[in-house]
Structure 1
Amino acid sequence: MSGRTVVITGANSGIGKVAARVLAQRGARVVLAVRDVAKGQAAAGSMRGDLEVRELDLADLRSVRAFTAEFTEPIDLLINNAGVMWPPLTRTVDGFELQFGTNHLGHFALTNLLLPQIRGRVVTVSSGGHRAGTIAFDDLQWEKRPYKPMAAYGQSKLANLLFTAELQRRLTEAGSPVIATAAHPGLASTNLFRSTGRFARLERWVLSLFAQSEDDGALPTLFAAVAAVPGDSYAGPSGFLEGRGAPKLVGRSKEARDPGVARRLWTVSEELTGVTFPRIARMAHESEAADRTGRR
């Protein structure tokens, strides 16, 4: 990874921190994009290598725009890792349901705004929980229905996979060499599970029996980031029910494979965030093609 720049959201803890540590050890310049800069600096201080901490709050589109406006250098690898899971009903700064707003819309805006600088790969971390999700286009923000944290989480993680599929379709159509992939960590013992809420006792029991370590949970992300895999591939653990084990390419739900849903979600996401797929990706390819034609 020497000479390559990597941006990882939520890299101050969990599998994001592990991925940052491993990639920095392999020579990458790693930017930890985190909401809490102090925690990010503490995480970076525990690692070796070329590391930088920058503030990014995915629950605030102004913060996303500020981060991307200041990031002008090329990016070889963007890992959309940050996420929230099962909170009580909460709204982002922009009024979105917190899980959908952070896990999907924040990363949607971040990726598209950074895309003109990305020259390698975009990895988005989803979850096996996507299988329980559905995209409720008539109530994406849980304004009409009683709020169900697990269902809202499933919707956001399903959105991650649909985003990856449609992003790859658009990149291919634009002739861009960038590829979009996705991964899920299986059941990993991270701070996402360390709650004191109504599910805390169940979480601790499940983790004690079935969870793998944060280091092992990061392996699918790293696999999706550097392995020779095609665009729109999805990596996860190879063990029982994809809960743990060495990484491999895995399947996804029927809805996650629906191109019509993916395109509709993309359009809605553009409307909600005010961010669109940049034409510059196509222009850069056209410029390179013209240069090659001229040389011939």
Structure 2
Amino acid sequence: MLANLRTLFMTRNLKYTIPALILVAGAAFGFQRIQSDNPEKESLILRLVTEALQGVHYQPRQINNEFSEDVFSAYLELIDGEKRFLYQSDYDFLAKSRLLLDDFLKSGDLKFFEESTALWTKRREEARRRFTRLLAKPLDYTTMRTLETDAEKRHFVKDSAAMDGFWADYLASRVMDRLYDRAYEKKDSINSAFLPGHPAFAKNESEARLKELEIHDEWFDGLESMDRSDDFGYFINAYASAFDPHSQYFPPQQQEAFEIEMTGQLEGIGAQLQ
């Protein structure tokens, strides 16, 4: 299979081979979902995609510590680039493997994937309970404080109390943005009913807060619908992006959706969309 992939990719224009590689990597296993009891298949897919990427590029990257660090950074960016879930202690724990991901790739060891996925899932569940609790009552809109929105300028938070504080500030800023948009939606007048101090503010604040709860519930419904195949997609894409930022691996069902979107048809069943 790998030899055939290399032959196929090296005989075509490079700008077309990268998307083809990612699609074929998913198709190589017959569009089967990756099950949690089949880590051998996951190890094989990871090696297949990485080796095929090496075969496609005219100057492939060496699988070494520098590559490992890039994979680690890409993976953290994918799962928590905004630093809304993981603590500093979580980062420190995962960072112990930042120079070992190249070795894990060569050996097919999925220990880092297992540990990081379990940790990310746990922190997502905590985050849902956190924003549900915080949005259940009015937030603090009176205390003057600064919220750094650029995640690159923030550190991971120290503990649960600090995470509560970050989420409280983050949610309060979103609710107030929503209220201020309503208050200043007309250029020539201000609707003070959406500003603190007005008798109608409590009602409008409650509606804005419930809207934020609805938005976040939808977001986390999507996160909770992810299965191991989706989690593995994040992991393998960290390796792919370390080779080339424009390369992407699609898990089988995502690949089907991609094919339908791009071509209007699904290979294998003869279906075509008009």
State the TM-score, normalized to the length of structure 2. 0.24
Please state which structure has a larger fraction of its residues in strand.
Answer: 1
Point out the structure with max Rg over C-alpha: 2
Q: TM-score, normalised by structure 1?
A: 0.23
Larger RCO, structures 1/2 (Cα 8 Å, 6+ apart): 2
